[in-house]
Amino acid sequence: MKIEVFFTPAEAATVDLEGRVAVVIDTLRATSTIVEALANGARGVLPAPSLEEAIRVAQNIGRSEVLLCGERRSLRVDGFDLGNSPLEFTEDRVGGRSLVMTTTNGTPAIVAGSAARRVLIASFLNLSAAAEAVASDGGPVAVVCAGRERRFALEDAICAGALIRRVAAAAGLDEGGGDWNDAARLAAEYARGMEGSLETVLRGTAAGRQLIEAGLEADIAYCATLDRHRIVPELRDHQMTL
């Protein structure tokens, strides 16, 4: 099985994603929040790469018909209904609702991966379910890390490595066997050494430190929870649904 990891969306933009399964990861916090929202009954999540696009989409649908969600510098955007903390996306708040979401790194990465045959959403919260979905598809895989402000983010690399290790196990493959790119091999090695201390590692990353400074420390522990949900969001017709 061909597996390639791209540590930023810009790296993924250098290859043709058509025909591949793209798995988008933004551990802190967009893909974790999307998983939590859909697990708690949200009807769908429409990703927008910018604030302007999110507002335009919400207005086109009907502002009263959607929840407008998003952050900049980790904090909820003024005038939006929700930010980007998975702890906000409870069943009472999002159940049965459609969400329009824009985040600094995650939603642009999802939009960037939309040329792929399939686009799946992964985080530690749904890691095993996402790995099993990828393995059962059997096609070539592109794991797209959202990164942080267009640069490498350790938390996404670890999640990517943990994911592809599980894909290999589910598909009955040796780790690194077949056609893995160098980034995939490196990510798998990162994950092997760090899976036992995820919360500690995530707290020490640049994104983790920013969340702590913003008073959102509880999000880190939540996003470090392994396999909380058995769901796999997938991008279809410009929105993420189950």
Q: What is the pLDDT along the chain (242 residues), one digit of tens a residue?
A: 999 999 999 999 999 999 999 999 999 999 999 999 999 999 999 999 999 999 999 999 999 999 999 999 999 999 999 999 999 999 999 999 999 999 999 999 999 999 999 999 999 999 999 999 999 999 999 999 999 999 999 999 999 999 999 999 999 988 887 699 999 999 999 999 898 899 999 999 999 999 999 999 999 999 999 999 999 999 999 999 99
Q: At the topology level of CATH, where does 2-229 sit? A: putative 2-phosphosulfolactate phosphatase (3.90.1560)
Give the pLDDT score at 193.
83
Residue 126 · residue 40 · CB < 8 Å = no
Residue pLDDT, tens place only, 76-94 = 999 999 999 999 999 999 9
pLDDT of 196 = 86
Check the CA dihedral 214-216-217-220 and report its sign: negative
Long-range CB contacts for residues 69-78, cutoff 8 Å, separation at least 24? 69/99, 69/100, 69/101, 69/102, 70/101, 70/102, 70/103, 70/107, 71/103, 71/104, 72/104, 73/104, 73/210, 73/214, 74/210, 74/211, 74/214, 74/216, 75/214, 77/51, 77/102
pLDDT, residue 178, reads 67
Task: Locate the domains of the chain by residue range.
Answer: 2-229
At 28, give phi and psi (nearest 5°): -120, 80
Q: What pLDDT was estimated at residue 174?
A: 87
